[in-house]
Amino acid sequence: MPAIVVENLIRTYQVYRKREGLWASLRGLLHRDYKEVHAVNDVSFTIDEGEMVAFLGPNGAGKTTTLKLLSGLIVPTSGHASVLGHTPWEREDAYRRRFSLVTGQKEQLWWDLPAQESFRLHKEIYRVSNEDYKSRITELSEMLEVTDLLGQPVRELSLGQRMRMELIAALLHRPDVLFLDEPTIGLDVISQRRVQQFLRYYQKEQGITVILTSHYMKDVEALCERAVVINKGNVIHDGALSEIVDRFSQHKIIDLHLGPEEVAEGIERFGTILDSKFPIVRIQIQKQDVSAVLTQLLSEYTIEDISVAERPLEDVIAELFSADDDESSPDPNSPSQPV
């Protein structure tokens, strides 16, 4: 059963275009030029209950705006969305008790008080029973390894510890839907991994519906099977994460282990050499040339070992968005595939 249904969602902002300099600022007092920015442009997708989906896209693509729409913070210019049967921007309490939005910023905790004070307030606001509250706090704080810090003022916590406290605050009332906007931004590797492991475990355990945006492909690969790729407010891909590489990458990587007598000369004519430390050579070649290149390599060089791999998701995504920035091919703006 779908938990989230989004149909033709559009959100347009009027943005004041200020030209450079003092003169322009003075003129801006009298007359202002506004530009319409389509932060979200006709976005549609459906997410089933218990699914964990990644939103991918460069900065300003519309991921966060979509999450803001779904959490009822902003009202769309047009379009329709339903989360758990509610229209988010009507902001009914019945809906607000059933979801949480976690962003990388300080959001829910009282800065000067220990986190447990904020949790107590959440307990009342979200109407969590005493027993449930106690067991939740114990369970979540143990899983996130912050039990000792519950009594310490939030401002004295490190970013990673604070983020984990934010997660506890967000999950205290057992939301059915969780929106995670860059939950690991700015965290060190260990905190990042801990949050990641926690989210994976928690989502499986509770079967909640999660939308995650992240710039760390490690997060995304560890947590999500499905990805919605958004760029310039449009959905350009909606499907399995693994399909992204297949669909958008024009290249493959070949790792060669040359024989001891071999010389790595002339290999560059097959593609771009990414790394070359004799006897290992790594080259990137056009996807459609794989079999031809392999045949040629094997016939011309003494090779001890050879392997063909996909490019890392991170590189493909980076290329996809930078290619779009220079408006060069390949065209990622092809119509999105129905799933």
For the beta carbon of residue 155, count every other beta carbon within 10 angstroms.
Answer: 12
For the beta carbon of residue 253, count every other beta carbon within 10 angstroms.
Answer: 20
Judged by beta carbon, residue 121 or residue 245, the one nearer other proteins is 121
The residues near 98 (Cβ < 8 Å, ≥ 6 apart) are 84, 86, 175, 176, 177
Q: Which long-range contacts (CB under 8 A, 24 or more apart) does 115-123 make?
A: 115/146, 115/149, 115/150, 115/152, 115/154, 115/157, 115/165, 115/168, 115/169, 116/150, 116/151, 118/154, 118/169, 119/150, 119/168, 119/169, 119/172, 122/169, 122/172, 122/173, 123/172
Instruction: Confirm or reject binding of residue 101 to other proteins (CB under 8 A).
Output: yes
21 in the Ramachandran plot: left (φ > 0), alpha (ψ -120 to 50) or beta? left
Judged by beta carbon, residue 100 or residue 249, the one nearer other proteins is 100
Judged by beta carbon, residue 59 or residue 328, the one nearer other proteins is 59
Q: Phi, psi (5° rounding) for residue 265?
A: -85, 140
Judged by beta carbon, residue 174 or residue 218, the one nearer other proteins is 174
Instruction: Confirm or reject binding of residue 124 to other proteins (CB under 8 A).
Output: yes
**According to CB under 8 A, which one of 18, 19, 34, 94 is a site residue for other proteins?**
94
Min dist. Cβ of residue 155 to other proteins (A): 10
Instruction: Confirm or reject binding of residue 37 to other proteins (CB under 8 A).
Output: no
Judging by beta carbons within 10 Å of its beta carbon (0-12, 13-18, 19+), is residue 294 exposed, middle or buried?
middle
Instruction: Confirm or reject binding of residue 7 to other proteins (CB under 8 A).
Output: no
Considering only residues 139 through 198, tell me which ones interact with other proteins, judged by CB under 8 A: 153, 173-176, 181
Judged by beta carbon, residue 19 or residue 127, the one nearer other proteins is 127
Instruction: Confirm or reject binding of residue 13 to other proteins (CB under 8 A).
Output: yes
Instruction: Confirm or reject binding of residue 125 to other proteins (CB under 8 A).
Output: yes
Judged by beta carbon, residue 104 or residue 330, the one nearer other proteins is 104
Min dist. Cβ of residue 204 to other proteins (A): 16
The residues near 117 (Cβ < 8 Å, ≥ 6 apart) are 110
Min dist. Cβ of residue 16 to other proteins (A): 11
How many residues sit in the footprint of other proteins (CB under 8 A)? 40
**According to CB under 8 A, which one of 66, 103, 209, 249 is a site residue for other proteins?**
103
**Strand 78-83 versus strand 99-103 pairing type:** unpaired
Binding site for other proteins (CB under 8 A): 13, 64, 68, 71-75, 91, 93-94, 96-98, 100-101, 103-108, 110, 112-113, 117-118, 120-122, 124-127, 153, 173-176, 181
